[in-house]
């Protein structure tokens, strides 16, 4: 387990010193993957849509970020809040099929504050304050309602479009 944690940290290019220490056994493992939908033509000529890892995309493409958390420790993780910035080249897409469990809170101010989009305001390019739109979203936050038990795994996700 220790080695696995190490491998993940190194892959991420992040050196999380404390993850190697006493807290390691208590931590969540967090992985971030990005997918795009492609159309695959089957032998019978039927076109099916399929999600595949998005390594290369063209502007205008919708991608799906999937963040998987897993409690790899032996104690529950409580008050779990996962945040993810929306990369500046992407525009957040409000998820039409909302899953109550995983609906994110939204931030339009770089993650300083979060709330419902309809209540958020931004300063437009004309200097006037206006209602925020999906394209103004800078960060997403998912607060899990219950503790993540040892061995428990879950995902949160969001769609965004490449500008």
Residues near another protein, by CB under 8 A: 8, 11-14, 16, 18-19, 23, 26-28, 30-34, 54-60, 63, 65, 67, 69, 73-85, 87, 89-91, 93-96, 98, 100-101, 103, 105, 116-118, 134, 143, 145, 148, 161-163
Quote the least distance from Cβ 18 to another protein, whole Å.
8
Quote the least distance from Cβ 50 to another protein, whole Å.
17
Quote the least distance from Cβ 103 to another protein, whole Å.
5
Q: Pick between residue 36 and residue 127 the one whose CB is nearest to another protein.
A: 36
Looking at the DSSP bridge assignments, the partners of residue 113 are: none
Cα–Cα distance, 110 to 28 (Å, whole number): 24
Quote the least distance from Cβ 63 to another protein, whole Å.
7
**Cα separations in angstroms, 87 against 90, 119, 154, 161:** 5, 22, 23, 10
Whether residue 40 contacts residue 73, with contact meaning beta carbons closer than 8 Å, is answered with no
Coil, helix or strand for 6?
helix
Cα–Cα distance, 54 to 61 (Å, whole number): 10
Q: Pick between residue 3 and residue 127 the one whose CB is nearest to another protein.
A: 3
């Amino acid at each position: 387990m220790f080695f696995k944690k190490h491998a993940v940290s190194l892959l991420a290019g992040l050196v999380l010193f404390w993850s190697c220490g006493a807290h390691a056994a208590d931590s969540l493992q967090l992985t971030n993957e990005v997918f795009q939908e492609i159309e695959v033509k089957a032998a019978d000529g039927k076109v099916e849509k399929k999600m595949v890892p998005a390594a290369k995309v063209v502007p205008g493409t919708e991608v799906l970020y999937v963040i998987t958390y897993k409690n790899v420790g032996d104690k529950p993780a409580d008050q779990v809040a996962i945040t993810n910035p929306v990369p500046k080249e992407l525009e957040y897409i409000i998820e039409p099929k909302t899953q109550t469990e995983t609906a994110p809170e939204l931030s339009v101010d770089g993650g300083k504050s979060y709330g419902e989009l309809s209540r958020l305001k931004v300063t437009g390019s004309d200097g006037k304050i206006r209602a925020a739109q999906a394209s103004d979203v800078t960060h997403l936050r998912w607060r899990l309602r219950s503790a993540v038990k040892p061995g428990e795994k879950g995902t949160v996700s969001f769609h965004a479009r490449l500008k």
